[in-house]
Amino acid sequence: MTDPEPAFRDRVLALVARIPAGRVVTYGQLATLAGQPGAARQAGFVLNSLVGGSELPWQRVINAQGRVSTHKLGFGDLQEGLLRTEGIEFDASGRCDLARWQWWPEDSAQGQAAPPTPLL
């Protein structure tokens, strides 16, 4: 895979910096918010460069199934642990409830139409 264009990279990193503690976004959502729908893999490529050497909350980006995708890269337990310390809960299969934990910026179309409220 080739390096994502610098403008896309900058937009992805700016969005990651905005994800609040205790919330997550998906790779596809991140790509869409950064202006490139369908570029989930490229967003993941950008994030891969952050692991272990960045103050940005890379751990808050997960896959569309609500799971951590970094186990095969050797740091999935780290990512899941960081999310758990922020209060994110995972079920026995390693999935978090996106309806409960997913974040949408207020300035996005989804943010204006507020995501579903979890049932208590």
SS3 62: strand
Q: How far apart are CA 14 and CA 8, in angstroms?
A: 10
Inside any domain, residue 110: no
Any idea what the CATH number is for the domain that residue 47 is in? 1.10.10.10
pLDDT in tens, 63-78: 999 999 887 788 889 9
- Overall domain count for the chain: 1
User: Tell me: the pLDDT tens digits for 44-103?
Assistant: 999 887 766 788 999 999 999 999 988 778 888 999 999 999 999 999 999 999 999 999
User: What is the distance between the alpha carbons of residues 110 and 90, in angstroms, rounded to a whole number?
Assistant: 24
Give the domain range for residue 50.
6-100
From residue 97, how far is each of 12, 33, 91 by CA, in Å? 23, 20, 8
Q: What is the mean pLDDT of residues 26-35?
A: 96
Please indicate, yes or no, if residue 105 is contained in any of the structural domains.
Answer: no
23 with 102: CB under 8 angstroms? yes
Task: For residue 70, give the nearest of 53, 51, 56 by alpha carbon.
Answer: 51
Q: Report yes or no on 118 lying in a domain.
A: no
